[in-house]
Structure formats: C-alpha cells, structure tokens
Structure 1
Amino acid sequence: MCPTITVCGEALVDLVPTGAQTFGARLGGGPFNVAVTVGRLGSPVGFCSRISTDPFGEQLIAALTASGVNVELVQRGPEPTTLAVTGIDPDGSARYTFYADGTADRLVTGPGPLPESVAAVSFGTLSLVFEPGASVYADLLCRSHDEGRLTVLDPNIRPAVFPDDYRRRFVDLLSAVDVVKVSDDDVYWLGQGLDGTTPEQWLERGVAAIVTTHGADGLSVRTPRLHVQVPGRGVPVADTIGAGDTVHGALLHWFADHELLSRTSVAALDGGQWQGALEFAARAAAVTVSRPGADPPWASQLTGD
C-alpha cells in the first residue's frame, strides 16, 4: 500500500531512568514517534530520514517496520545514532540532554520527488534545528507545500539545544505550513525575545489551524474562524514521553480516516469535526502517558473506549 502520509525527521534512542543509577534504552525521536503512531493506528505512512547502521539503528528500522511504517525513503549510514538522555520530573514531564554531533539523522540528503500518493507531509523537533539536515527538511517542507500537499509542523521545542534564532526560522517557515501542533511550553518559548510571535500572528501568516496541548487540561485548536477545546482524560501517568507526538500522529490518522487529508479539507473543518479529532487524539495520548516511554497505542487498543 502506498503511503498517503510521509513523516520527516529524526529517529533516536532515549536513555530513560530505570533506577537510581540505571537507564533503559527506548526508541524515540519526535518524528519517529509520529510515524509509529500513524502506522499503529492503521493509516498508510512512510518515514523520511537517515538512520544509522549501528545496532540502535537496526532496532529503529525494525520498530518502524513492525508498526506498519514504509521505510523506502530512509537513508542508512555508518554514523552513530543520536542519543537523548531523559530526566523525569515528579509530575511525569520529561527533560532532555542530546548527544548529536556527527550522528546519522542530521546528515540526511534530499530524497528527491515524493511519491504522488503522498497527500500530507509532517515535520518537527530536532530535524529542523541541526544542520546540515535542517536545511534539507526545510526545503522539503516548502516544496511539499508548493506541490499542494498538506503540511504539518510540530516545533517540539527543546530549550537546551534550540538556539534563539530558531524563532526567526520558525516564522520564516510558517507560510509553508498548514497545521502547527504545539504545547503550552512551545507557545511560551516561541513568544520570547525580539523575534517572539504569538499564535494569532501565525494565523495571520496563513496557518490554517493551531493545535495546542495543555497537559492534563486537554487539547485545543484555533483557526481563523473558531476555537475548540476538549478536556484531558484522567489516567495514571507513568511519564509524558511521546504524548505530544501521539497527538500529532493521531490527528494525521483521523484526517486520513475521514478522507480529509488535504489543505482545503482541514481549513474547512467545523467545530464538531475538530471536537471529534481532538477527542480521538486525547484518547490516544492517554494510552501513551499511561505506560513508560513513547509507546503509542494500536488501533485495537482504542476501540470500544
């Protein structure tokens, strides 16, 4: 089955605390998690990245394939896999330290023309920060938008590694972005400094919809015509790793499942449709936060809920 969604960006390994002095290796990276979510929920999806041939890289490829993700656009190289050392705060939120110098994912090259079947392209996190790959992904984002594909961007801010000038780069990309997915923390960070902007200004630059995660308080969407918010789902939280990525992937799947995977269709969604999309994404994210690490749900785990 040809992919209708292509997710672009890094795949890495999270080192997550498992004890006082021990860490467990978990596969991750924002775009990787998004692709896995879409694949597990049942929509045709492909992954565009560069992944190491080291043992971690082999595990990343195997996990993508096992989740139903097409890896034909994945480049391979001998460079090491990026590592993210994760700290878990008392409320379950995660903070990260990255080891990414000379790693495989930042050395991606242009993939050439995407398959005609690709209706939507997703970007985000470190892939739009670390050069030289950042420029490759930015060019692909702009080209995809020019070709009429739905474009989705999650900046997924990591303050420890995001330079201040990323705010300007983010604004420069907005004319090529249809849907922005952010957290409250992202909105705060992007609003700081001389180049800070607000979601209202993003809409003025042509973004069709801004989906915001509010932690336990749920999700909201803002468009030029409406504002919709749905509550979070009360579940015991193991940690929040991958929760926002699950929301991102679940929304892409919902658009595809309802035959709304286009710029025009998303821009025309009414309040009831957005409520349905956000409620579905909240259900999916509740599963992810209920178990350690980024472990998005399978479609079968959301039925009958």
Structure 2
Amino acid sequence: MIVVAGEALIDLVPREAGALADLRPARGGGPYNTAVALGRLGSPTAFFSRVSRDAFGEALLEGLGAAGVDVSSVQRGPEPTTLAAASIGEGGSAAYSFYVEGTADRLFEVPARLPEGTRAVSFGTCSLVLEPGASAYEELMRSAAAQGVFTALDPNIRAGLIPDADAYRARFRSWLPSVSLLKLSEEDAEWLGGTPREWLAAGPSAVVITQGGDGLTAFTRDGSVHPVPGEKVEVVDTIGAGDTVNAALLHGLAVRDALSPAALSALTPEDWTGLLRFAARAAAITCSRAGAEPPYAAELADGDEPEHRAG
C-alpha cells in the first residue's frame, strides 16, 4: 500500500485563451493527482486528506474511487473546497491563482495510524504550506520516517501561497532527514536554492529533477547521475505532469521491491534508466491531453516495467 497525503482541490481550467475564458472545473491538487495516477497504474493506494462535503468534494471522492484508491481514511468537513484558477501559457505551462481561505483541506489532522501494510507515504504541494494542516502533514512525515516507512517529497512550489520564502526554505531543509526520495522540477530547485548533492547529504537516498520536455535526471548518494531524455509529444498542457512522474516513480519502485532507502541505493544504472523512462513516458501521455489525466497501466504496458510486481 502506498499512501498519498495532501490536498484535493478543483482546478478551473480555461478552454480557450483570454482573461475571462470559459473555465472547466477539473479534479486536481498535486497529491490528489498522484493518488489517481498510482491507482490507474495498478498500485494499491490510499489517500490521506480532508475533503469538503460540498459537491466538489463529492466529485473528488468519486474520482479517487474510480481509480481504485482507498478513501476510508479521508477526513470530511463542511468547509468549501479549495479552488485553483489555471492559466495556460506558451508550451502548455500552467500558472495558478488559489482560493484557499477557510477551505476543508487546511484543517487536516494527524491520523492515529497508517493503514496496515503501508510501504510508502508521499507528500507535497500546498498541503505543506497552508496552516494548520501543514504542521499536521509535517508531523505525519516525521512519524512515518521514524517508523522506517519510505517517504517521498515533491515540494511543487506555489510561490504565491508562501508568505515568507526564507522561512519556507529553512522548513524544507528541516524535512530532508525524514525524506527517502526527493523529486522536484528544475524551477523548484532554482527557487529553493541548493544542489542535489547538498540535499542528498541532508537525508534522501535519491533526488530526481524533472526538466520539462528535456527529460529527468536522478542523482544518488554514490555520486551517480542518471539522465534520460523526455518523450516527444504534442503538448496540450502540462497540468499534472509532475504528479504523474511522482506516481510512476513510486509505482516503478514498488514493482522493483525498492521502497526502502537501502533498496533505492542498490538500484543499478539499468534500473534507473528503465524507471526514469517509464516516468517520462507516463508524463508525456498526461501532457498530451487537457487537465490532469494520467495514463492507465494498459497505456504503458509495452514499456520498461518488469512484468512481476513484488509485494
């Protein structure tokens, strides 16, 4: 079981160019997209969050259920669902304006325990910024790591939501001893400062940096660097691409029975190449369609993943 912890929200995605473009509501949020992508790939997945009882909240739970994600641990509340208004720029890149005051996902509370058989917990995005929920997710991260559970972090920076950049950067560094796998975009890496080597020295066993259409690169503690090129595709938009990478990495590691720091360190160059190519191909499929619509396992069946799933 892979647990994904973080926000679920509604993206308002423009159907056409213009400040008052026709907006289409779509299920979203980095952790939510990661959970859906994992479910579609076939990994047993549970979602930890706090979701509104409004119509948007019901739609979010329906989306998780359709992907086979366990929602039995999702907390519910009467507050509204967070909204994110997206604008699509050249090359399909997305920027967001958030409506977060008094929303349900900010009030997440630390659960009493992780589900039986939890192998990994994934964190990231707005949930680690907006209090009081951010402190609860942080506590869950530290607790999971202390129990020996594999942890993955994608900070997925939304600078407009961060009132004190330096304080957030310091907080980010404080998480690293509790992180097994750090994944981030090159834009996030630049915003945060530091280098993969510095982050590896602080805790993670591997750092993966995505570079848009140029591919992605893994850095490991032994000094190895594993780059793979991006998959060529006609980009509709990039919404959910990074979240799909998260899911593909976690799924691929589960397939290889590598959801532990020791197993991650033992991956061969061939393992890393296959894992990263799988993630690049999954992200390309997401970019080829509007909104966060990650691929299903059947769409990637001829790829680099082993046929046997461990565990």
Please, what TM-score do these two structures have when normalized by structure 1? Answer: 0.96
- Could you tell me whether the CA contact under 8 Å between 2:5 and 2:47 is conserved in 1? yes
Count residues with an aligned counterpart: 297
CA distances 1:70-117 after superposition (whole Å, capped 9, x unpaired) = 001100111000000101001110001100011000101111111230
User: How big is each residue's C-alpha offset from its partner over 1:36-78, in whole Å with a ceiling of 9 and x where there is no partner?
Assistant: 0100000100000000000000000000000010001100111
- CA drift at 1:274: 0.8
> Which residue pairs with 2:306 in the alignment?
none
Output the CA distance in 2 between the equivalents of 1:65 and 1:124: 21
8 Å contact kept, 2:185–2:211: yes
CA distance in 1, matches of 2:290, 2:151: 30
Structure 1 residue runs of 4 or more that deviate by more than 2 Å after TM superposition: none
Counterparts of 2:263 and 2:113, CA distance in 1: 24
Distance 1:259 1:198 in 2: 28
The CA deviation at 1:304 is 2.9
| SS state at 1:294 partner | coil
**Two-structure CA RMSD over aligned residues (Å):** 0.9
Structure 1 residue 55 and structure 2 residue 52: aligned?
A: no
Question: Which residue of 282, 287, 290 maps to 2:288?
Answer: 290
Q: Deviations over 1:127-147 (max 9, x none)?
A: 000000000000000000000
Look up the match of 2:309.
none
SS state at 2:50 partner: strand
Paired residue type of 2:181: V
Corresponding residue of 1:194: none
Using the alignment, how far apart are the partners of 1:103 and 1:149 within structure 2? 29
Distance 1:24 1:282 in 2: 27
Q: Secondary structure at the match of 1:7?
A: strand
Q: Deviations over 1:159-185 (max 9, x none)?
A: 111231110100011010011000010
Corresponding residue of 1:272: 270
What residue identity is the alignment partner of 2:122?
Answer: S
Deviation of 1:198 after TM superposition, in Å, equals: 2.4
1:200: Cα distance to partner? 1.7
Matched-pair identity in %: 53
Give yes or no for the alignment of 1:115 onto 2:112: no
Whether 1:15 aligns to 2:12 is: yes
Distance 1:240 1:212 in 2: 16
- Mean Cα displacement is larger for which, 97-106 or 197-206? 197-206
Match of 1:189 in 2: 191
Q: When the two structures are superposed, what TM-score results if normalisation uses the length of structure 2?
A: 0.94
Q: Distance in 1 between matches of 2:244 and 2:264?
A: 19
